[in-house]
Amino acid sequence: MDDNLPIITLLGFGPQGWGLALLAGAGLTVAVALAAMVLGMVLGAALATVQGLRVPVLARAAAIYGVVLRGVPELLVVLLLYFGTPGLLAALAGLFGLPPPESPPAFLTGCVAIGLVSAAYQAEVFRGGLLAVPRGQIEAAMAAGMTPWTRFRRVIAPQVLHHVLPPLGNIWQFNLKDSALVSITGLAELMRVSLVAAGSTRRPFVFFVAAMALYLLLTTASSALLHRAETRSRRWAGGQ
Amino acid sequence: MNDEIAFLAATALAIARALPVTLLLALAGALGASLLAALLVAAHQTRALRPLARAWIFVFRGTPLLLQMAMVYYGLGALDAVRHGPLWPLLREPLVCAWLALACCCSAYIAEVLRAALAAVPRGQIEAALACGMNRRTRLIRVIVPQLVRLALPAYGNELVMLVKSTSLASTITVVDVTGVAQLVIAHSYRTIEVFCLAAAVYLALTAALTAALRLIERRLAQGALP
C-alpha cells in the first residue's frame, strides 16, 4: 500500500478513501447512544418511581443499583456484558436443557451496557424533577378528580420536563461519548472505524483528528438542538 | 470448590498488585487536571488567552477520552516531529500517555466547575473587599478562594469520581492497571464474570471512599459558612 497518499484521498469517498466508513460509523455511534438513552430513560424513570414508593426493600434495591452503576467504570460494564453474557446465557439454557444460544450481537450488548449506566444517572435526574413538583399541585389535581394518567400528563409532566431537560441533555452528551467504549466489542462505530483505518493505512494522526472532528460535530449539533428544546419547554413553565 | 477459592485468591492478589498503578494514575491525574484547570480559568479571565481556553475546553469535553488516549499514544507517536523530539522517551511510555490524556480531558471539566463557582461568588463581596482597600492578592486569598472552594467542592468531587473511573481506560493503551490485569487473567482463565466483578468491587471501594472523604471535607468547610 502507498504510504504517502494525500489526506484528501484518505478521508475522501474514493476507493481508497475512508470518508463513507467514517460517516457510517458516526451514524452507528448516534444509534448506539440513542438506543442507550431510550433504555436508560425507561429504566431510570422506573427506578425513580420505585424510590418514590414507600416500599423499603424496592427503594433500597434501586438506591444500591444507582450507587454500583455510578461507581464502576463504564468500560468494565461494557466488558462484563460483552464477555459475560454468552456464558451466562449458555448456563441459563443449560438449566432448561436447551443447547447454548448464539451470542447476542455487539450492537445489542453495547446499547444495553451504556443504557444500564445511563439509567443510574437518569434515575437521579427524574427523582430531582419529581421532588420539584409542589405537593399541593398533585393534591389539587386529585381534588379536581383527575385520573392518575391525566394528572401525570397535565400537571406533573409539563413541570418535570422543564426541570429535567438540561440535565438529560448532559447525560445525552455522556452517552454519545461513552458509546466509543462499545468499540472494544468490535462494533464498527466511529471509534472502531477510526482505529481500523489508522491501523490499515498507518496514518493514525489523520484518522483520529477526523474522528475527533466528527465527535465534536455530533456533540455541538446535539447541544444546539437541546438548547432549542429547552427554550421551548420553558413555555409551559409558568413564566419562569 | 477449593479450586474456585484458590483462583479467586490468586486473582485478588494479581489485582491488588496492579492497584498502585490505578492509584498513581488517579492521583497524578487529579493533580495535573486541577493545576491545568486553574490555569485555564486564569487564562479565561484575560482577553488575549480566552479563545485558547475556550477551544481547549470545547475539544476535550466534546470528544471521548478513549479517542484522546488513542490520539496521544498512537496518533502523536506516528508524527515524525514527536518521534524525533526531545519528549519521545516520555511519550513512548503508555502510562505517561494515559496520564497526559486523563489530565487534559478532566482539566476541561474541572475548569467549567471552577468557572461556575467563580461566577457564583457574590459581586458585592468583591466590591466590599475593594472598598476596604485590599490589594489583588489579599482579595484573592481572603475573599474569593475561601468561597470558591466551598462553592466548587460538590461538583469538583463529582469530577474526581469520574476521573477515578476513567483511569480504567488506560488499559486500552496497554497500561496494566486494575482493568488491564482483569483482562489478562480472563485471557488465561476464561472466567469472565468472577474476575470482572472483583475488579468492579475495587473501583466501587475506591469511589465510595473518595465520596465519603469528600462529604467529610464538605461538612468541615460548611462550619462557619453563612446559611
Q: Are A228 and B76 in contact (CB under 8 A)?
A: no
Q: What is the pLDDT of residues B20-62, one digit of tens each?
A: 999 999 999 999 999 999 999 999 999 999 999 999 999 999 9
Q: Which domain holds residue B212?
A: 2-223
Q: How far is CA B160 from the centre of its chain?
A: 5
Q: What is the pLDDT of residues B190-220, one digit of tens each?
A: 888 889 999 999 999 999 999 999 999 999 8
Say which DSSP state B46 is in. S
Say which DSSP state A152 is in. I
Dihedral (CA of B200, B203, B207, B209) sign: positive
User: What does the alpha-carbon distance between residue A196 and residue A2 come to, in Å, rounded to a whole number?
Assistant: 17
- The ipTM, to two decimals, is 0.91
Q: How many C-beta neighbours within 10 Å does residue B58 have? A: 14
Q: Is B46 on the interface with A (CB under 8 A)?
A: no
Test A212 with B71 for CB contact under 8 angstroms: yes
Cell of A227: 438548547
A228 CB burial (10 A radius; 0-12, 13-18, 19+): exposed
User: What does the alpha-carbon distance between residue A219 and residue A57 come to, in Å, rounded to a whole number?
Assistant: 39
Test B179 with A198 for CB contact under 8 angstroms: no
Report the pLDDT value the prediction gives residue A52, as an integer from 0 to 100.
Answer: 79
The residue in chain A having the minimum alpha-carbon distance to the alpha carbon of residue B178 is: A76
Test A76 with B71 for CB contact under 8 angstroms: no
- Please provide the average confidence, as pLDDT, over all residues in chain B: 93
Q: How many C-beta neighbours within 10 Å does residue B33 have? A: 24
The number of folded domains in chain B is 1
Cβ neighbours for B223, distance < 8 A, ≥ 6 positions apart? none
- The pTM assigned to this predicted structure is 0.90
pLDDT band at B224 (very low <50, low <70, confident <90, very high): low
User: What does the alpha-carbon distance between residue A25 and residue A29 come to, in Å, rounded to a whole number?
Assistant: 6
Report the pLDDT value the prediction gives residue A240, as an integer from 0 to 100.
Answer: 43
Report the pLDDT value the prediction gives residue B227, as an integer from 0 to 100.
Answer: 55
- Closest C-alpha among A234, A67, A219, A197 to residue B74: A197
Q: Is A184 on the interface with B (CB under 8 A)?
A: yes
CATH number at residue B217: 1.10.3720.10
Q: What is the pLDDT of residues B124-171, one digit of tens each?
A: 988 999 999 999 899 989 989 888 999 999 999 999 999 999 999 999
Q: Is A202 on the interface with B (CB under 8 A)?
A: yes
Task: Give the CA angle between residues A35, A112, A192 to the nearest 5°.
Answer: 80
Q: Is B126 on the interface with A (CB under 8 A)?
A: no
**Between the CA of residue A73 and those of A96, A125, B63, what are the distances in Å?**
33, 20, 18
Test B179 with A211 for CB contact under 8 angstroms: no
Q: B-chain residues within 8 Å CB-CB of A204?
A: 70-71, 74-75, 77-78
DSSP string covering A34-60: HHHHHHHHHHHHHHHHHHHSS-HHHHH
Å between A114 CA and nearest CA of chain B: 14
Query: Which of A203, A212, A219 is opposite residue B78, by nearest beta carbon?
Result: A203
Give SS3 for A115: helix
Give SS3 for A55: coil
**Between the CA of residue A158 and those of A46, A164, A189, A231, B183, what are the distances in Å?**
18, 10, 35, 13, 46
Task: Give the CA angle between residues A192, A214, B85 to the nearest 5°.
Answer: 75
Q: Are A87 and A163 in contact (CB under 8 A)?
A: no
State the first-to-last Cα distance of chain A, in angstroms, to the nearest integer. 62
Q: Are A140 and A151 in contact (CB under 8 A)?
A: no
User: What does the alpha-carbon distance between residue A94 and residue B5 come to, in Å, rounded to a whole number?
Assistant: 24
Q: Is A204 on the interface with B (CB under 8 A)?
A: yes
Q: How many CB pairs under 8 A join A and B?
A: 116
The residue in chain A having the minimum alpha-carbon distance to the alpha carbon of residue B187 is: A83
Cβ neighbours for B218, distance < 8 A, ≥ 6 positions apart? B153, B154, B157
pLDDT at B92 over 50: yes
Mean pLDDT of all residues in B75-103: 91
Test A215 with B67 for CB contact under 8 angstroms: yes
Test B70 with A204 for CB contact under 8 angstroms: yes
Cell of B153: 467542592
| Tens-level pLDDT at each residue, chain A (240 residues) | 456 778 888 888 878 789 899 999 999 999 999 999 999 999 999 999 898 777 889 999 999 999 999 999 999 999 999 988 888 888 888 888 888 788 888 999 999 999 999 999 999 999 998 888 888 988 999 999 999 899 888 888 888 888 899 999 999 999 999 999 999 999 999 999 999 999 998 899 999 999 999 999 999 999 999 999 888 877 766 544
